[in-house]
A and B are shown apart, each in its own frame.
Chain A
Amino acid sequence: MKRKVAIRGFEVVAVLLTFLFIFYPANAKAQRPIKVGVIDTYAGPPATFANDALNGFKLALNEINKKGVLGTKIEFTTRDDKWKVDVGLSMAKELVMRENVDLIVGTINSSVTMAISDYMKGEKVPFIVWISKSERITGEKGHRYVFSTGENTAMAGKAGGVALAKKPYVKYWIAGDDYEYGHAIANAIWRNLKAKKPSVEKIGETWWKTGEPDLVPYLTSVMASKPDALIVCGGGATMTNSLKACKTTGIHQKIPVFMHTATDHAVLKPLGLEAAPEGVMGTMDYHFYFPETTANKAFVKAFQDAYGAPPGFPAFHGYITAHFIAEAFRKAGAVDKEKFINALEGLVIDSPAGKLEMRKCDHQAVLPMYLGVTKKVPQYNHLISGNIVTITGKDVMPSCEEIMKARGK
Chain B
Amino acid sequence: MFNEVIRLKWFGPSIVIFLVLFILPSFIPRFYTYILALIYVTSLLAMSLNLVVGHGGMFQFHHGVFYGVGAYTVALMLTKTSLPMWTGFIAGPIVAAIIGFIIGWFCVRLTRLYFGMLQISLGSLIWAIVLRWYSFTGGDDGIHGVPIAPFLSSLNSSYYFILIVLVICLIVMYLILKSPFGNTLQAIRDNPQRCEAIGINVRRHQLIAIVIATFFGGLAGVLFVVLERSVFTDMLFWVLSLEIFIMCLLGGWFTFVGPIFGAAIIVALRTFVSIFTEYWTLILGVILILIIFFLPEGVMGYFQEIFKPRTKETVKEGTK
Say if A and B assemble together.
Answer: yes
Residues of A with Cβ closer than 8 Å to B? 6-7, 10, 18, 21-22, 24, 42-43, 78-80, 82, 84-87, 89-91, 93-94, 97-98, 110-111, 114-115, 117-119, 121, 134, 136, 141, 178-181, 183
Kindly list chain A residues whose C-beta atoms are within 8 Å of the C-beta of B121.
none
What separation, in Å, do the CA atoms of A10 and B142 have in the docked complex?
41
Q: Do A98 and B31 touch (CB < 8 A)?
A: yes
Q: Do A115 and B142 touch (CB < 8 A)?
A: yes
Kindly list chain B residues whose C-beta atoms are within 8 Å of the C-beta of A93.
31, 34
Smallest Cβ-Cβ distance to A184: which chain B residue: B141
The 8 Å CB contact of B29, one of A7, A24, A91, A98, is A98
Interface membership of chain B positions 264-275, coded 1 if the CB is closer than 8 angstroms to chain A and 0 otherwise: 000010111111
10 A–B contacts from the bound complex (CB under 8 Å): A43-B278, A85-B232, A86-B235, A89-B228, A93-B31, A98-B29, A111-B232, A115-B142, A180-B141, A183-B134
Q: Do A115 and B268 touch (CB < 8 A)?
A: no
Distance (Å) between the CB of B280 and the closest chain A CB? 7
- Is the C-beta of B139 less than 8 angstroms from some C-beta in chain A? yes
Q: In chain B between 115 and 171, which residues have their CB closer than 8 angstroms to a CB of chain A?
A: 131-132, 134, 139-142, 144-145
Kindly list chain A residues whose C-beta atoms are within 8 Å of the C-beta of B281.
43, 82
- Nearest first, the 10 A-B pairs at minimum CB distance are A97-B31, A21-B272, A180-B140, A118-B145, A179-B140, A85-B232, A98-B31, A118-B144, A115-B230, A42-B278
Q: Do B38 and A111 touch (CB < 8 A)?
A: no
The 8 Å CB contact of B270, one of A87, A136, A178, is A87
What separation, in Å, do the CA atoms of A79 and B235 have in the docked complex?
21
What separation, in Å, do the CA atoms of A80 and B272 have in the docked complex?
12
Distance (Å) between the CB of B243 and the closest chain A CB? 10
Q: Do B274 and A85 touch (CB < 8 A)?
A: no
Q: In chain B between 261 and 320, which residues have their CB closer than 8 angstroms to a CB of chain A?
A: 268, 270-276, 278, 280-281, 290, 294-295, 302
- Is the C-beta of B112 less than 8 angstroms from some C-beta in chain A? no
Contact (A10, B290) CB under 8 Å given A115-B142, A117-B144, A183-B134: yes
- Is the C-beta of B229 less than 8 angstroms from some C-beta in chain A? yes
Smallest Cβ-Cβ distance to B128: which chain A residue: A209
What separation, in Å, do the CA atoms of A100 and B134 have in the docked complex?
36
The 8 Å CB contact of B139, one of A42, A91, A180, is A180
Besides the known contacts A136-B141, A180-B139, 9 further A-B residue pairs in the complex with CB atoms under 8 A apart: A21-B276, A79-B274, A80-B278, A86-B230, A90-B271, A115-B142, A118-B144, A179-B131, A180-B141
Kindly list chain B residues whose C-beta atoms are within 8 Å of the C-beta of A85.
142, 230, 232, 234
Kindly list chain A residues whose C-beta atoms are within 8 Å of the C-beta of B141.
110-111, 114, 134, 136, 180
Q: Do B290 and A78 touch (CB < 8 A)?
A: no
Kindly list chain A residues whose C-beta atoms are within 8 Å of the C-beta of B139.
179-180, 183
What separation, in Å, do the CA atoms of A183 and B30 have in the docked complex?
39
What separation, in Å, do the CA atoms of A42 and B30 have in the docked complex?
27
User: How many CB-defined contacts (below 8 Å) exist between A and B?
Assistant: 94
Q: Do B271 and A94 touch (CB < 8 A)?
A: yes
Residues of B with Cβ closer than 8 Å to A? 29-31, 34-35, 38, 131-132, 134, 139-142, 144-145, 228-230, 232-235, 268, 270-276, 278, 280-281, 290, 294-295, 302
Distance (Å) between the CB of A50 and the closest chain B CB? 10
The 8 Å CB contact of B38, one of A18, A79, A90, A136, is A90
Smallest Cβ-Cβ distance to A121: which chain B residue: B145
What separation, in Å, do the CA atoms of A315 and B38 have in the docked complex?
34
Residue of B35, B275, B280 with most partner-chain A CB within 10 A: B275
Kindly list chain B residues whose C-beta atoms are within 8 Å of the C-beta of A84.
234
Q: Do A91 and B268 touch (CB < 8 A)?
A: no
Q: Do A180 and B31 touch (CB < 8 A)?
A: no
Residue of B141, B271, B273, B275 with most partner-chain A CB within 10 A: B141
What separation, in Å, do the CA atoms of A115 and B144 have in the docked complex?
5
Kindly list chain B residues whose C-beta atoms are within 8 Å of the C-beta of A111.
140-142, 232-234
What separation, in Å, do the CA atoms of A115 and B274 have in the docked complex?
19
Kindly list chain A residues whose C-beta atoms are within 8 Å of the C-beta of B31.
93-94, 97-98
Kindly list chain A residues whose C-beta atoms are within 8 Å of the C-beta of B145.
118, 121
Kindly list chain A residues whose C-beta atoms are within 8 Å of the C-beta of B295.
7
Smallest Cβ-Cβ distance to A79: which chain B residue: B274
Q: Do B275 and A79 touch (CB < 8 A)?
A: yes
Q: Do B272 and A22 touch (CB < 8 A)?
A: yes
Q: Do B270 and A6 touch (CB < 8 A)?
A: no
Kindly list chain B residues whose C-beta atoms are within 8 Å of the C-beta of A94.
31, 271, 275
Kindly list chain A residues whose C-beta atoms are within 8 Å of the C-beta of B268.
18, 21-22
What separation, in Å, do the CA atoms of A80 and B34 have in the docked complex?
19
Distance (Å) between the CB of B4 and the closest chain A CB? 30
What separation, in Å, do the CA atoms of A283 and B238 have in the docked complex?
35
What separation, in Å, do the CA atoms of A87 and B38 have in the docked complex?
11
Smallest Cβ-Cβ distance to B233: which chain A residue: A111
Kindly list chain A residues whose C-beta atoms are within 8 Å of the C-beta of B270.
87, 90
What separation, in Å, do the CA atoms of A21 and B295 have in the docked complex?
21
Smallest Cβ-Cβ distance to B142: which chain A residue: A111
Q: Do A78 and B34 touch (CB < 8 A)?
A: no
Distance (Å) between the CB of A237 and the closest chain B CB? 16
Residue of A43, A86, A94, A136 with most partner-chain B CB within 10 A: A86
What separation, in Å, do the CA atoms of A80 and B284 have in the docked complex?
14
Kindly list chain B residues whose C-beta atoms are within 8 Å of the C-beta of A6.
294
Smallest Cβ-Cβ distance to B287: which chain A residue: A14
Residue of A90, A110, A183 with most partner-chain B CB within 10 A: A90
Smallest Cβ-Cβ distance to A83: which chain B residue: B234
Q: Do B228 and A10 touch (CB < 8 A)?
A: no
What separation, in Å, do the CA atoms of A93 and B30 have in the docked complex?
10
Smallest Cβ-Cβ distance to A177: which chain B residue: B140
What separation, in Å, do the CA atoms of A80 and B228 have in the docked complex?
18
Kindly list chain A residues whose C-beta atoms are within 8 Å of the C-beta of B235.
86
Smallest Cβ-Cβ distance to A87: which chain B residue: B270
Q: Do B274 and A91 touch (CB < 8 A)?
A: yes
Distance (Å) between the CB of A357 and the closest chain B CB? 27
Distance (Å) between the CB of B278 and the closest chain A CB? 5
Smallest Cβ-Cβ distance to B270: which chain A residue: A87
Distance (Å) between the CB of A150 and the closest chain B CB? 16
Distance (Å) between the CB of B260 and the closest chain A CB? 16
Residue of A91, A180, A181 with most partner-chain B CB within 10 A: A180
Kindly list chain B residues whose C-beta atoms are within 8 Å of the C-beta of A18.
268
What separation, in Å, do the CA atoms of A141 and B278 have in the docked complex?
30
Q: Do A180 and B134 touch (CB < 8 A)?
A: yes
Contact (A86, B234) CB under 8 Å given A10-B290, A93-B34: yes
Distance (Å) between the CB of A174 and the closest chain B CB? 15
